[in-house]
Amino acid sequence: MILVHHLRIGRSLFTVWLLEELGLEYELKIYLRHPKTGRAQEDLRQAHPLGKSPVIEDGDLMLSESGAITSHLLDNYDPDGTFAPPASDRNARAIYGQWLHYSEGSAFAPLLLKLILAREAKPHPPMVSGFAAQEVPLQLGYIQDFLDDKPYILGDKLQGPDFGIGFILQLAQRLGELAPYPALEAYLARMTARPAFQRARERAGE
C-alpha cells in the first residue's frame, strides 16, 4: 500500500487528491507546520532529508517532488490513460509534459516570494517585491490565456497537469492574487468541487 507523508496546508493535498481520483488504497502520515514559522517541523526530516512534502513510499520506492510523484502514479496505476494523452500522440504528450512541470518550474517561485514577503515586516526589499509584483500576474495571466474556455488546462477532461496547477491557483487564492482572474477562480472551483477532492480534503484534515 502507498504511504503518503502529508504536510498539512500545502501541495501534498493535491497528491492525495490524485490518489483519490485513481481510487487507490493509501495511508497518510500527517505532519503539522510550526505554529510560528509555518514551515515543516523536524519530524518530517525523518521521512526525507529536506523535510519537504509530498513524499510517498510505494513498496521499496521512496519518491519526492510532486511532478515525479504524479508521473509515477499515472505511469503505474492509470493503465487506461484516463489522466494523460496516449504516448502515440507525440505533440499532445509534449504539451502534457510541459504543463506537468510548469507548476513547479515557472509558476511556483514568484508565489513563494509573495508568501515569504507576506510574513516579513515592511519595508520589503524593492528588487524582490518588484519582481514578485510583476511575475505573479504574468504567470496567472499566462495560465488564464491558455485555459481560455476549456474546462481543464488541456481540454475537456482532468489530466495530470491539473493537479499541480490546482495547487498553484489555491496558493494564489490564499495570497489574495486570484480575484482578477475569474476564469481561474471558476477553474479552481470546478476542481475543488470534485468528489475525489472533497474526500482528499476530509481525509487529510484540511
pLDDT along the chain (206 residues), means of 10: 89 96 95 68 81 92 96 96 94 97 96 92 90 97 98 97 98 97 98 98 90
Q: Count how many Cα atoms sit within 13 Å of the Cα of residue 144 in the half-sphere of its side chain.
A: 17
Give the pLDDT score at 41. Answer: 66
To the nearest whole percent, how much of the chain has pLDDT over 70? Answer: 96
**Please, where in the chain does CATH 3.40.30.10 lie?**
2-82+196-204
- Residue 170: name the closest of 149, 197, 189 by CA: 189
Residue 158, C-alpha cell as written in the block: 482532468
Residue 38: the pLDDT is 59
Alpha carbon distance 152, 149 (integer Å): 9
Residue intervals of the chain classified under CATH 1.20.1050.10 are: 90-194
> Which pLDDT value is given to residue 8?
83
Stated pTM of the model: 0.93
CATH-assigned architecture of domain 2-82+196-204: 3-Layer(aba) Sandwich (3.40)
CATH topology of domain 90-194: Glutathione S-transferase Yfyf (Class Pi); Chain A, domain 2 (1.20.1050)
Give the pLDDT of residue 31: 85
| 8 A C-beta contact, residue 132 and residue 113 | yes
Nearest CA to 105 among 157, 152, 66, 144?
Answer: 66
Per-residue cell: 12: 501534498
pLDDT recorded at residue 92: 97
36-49 pLDDT, tens digit per residue, is 665 666 778 888 88
Helix (H, G, I), strand (E, B) or coil at 54: coil
**Grid coordinates given for 178:** 486570484
Total residues belonging to the chain? 206
Averaged confidence pLDDT in the chain? 93
Return d(Cα 83, Cα 164) in angstroms, integer. Answer: 13
C-alpha cell at 197: 477532492
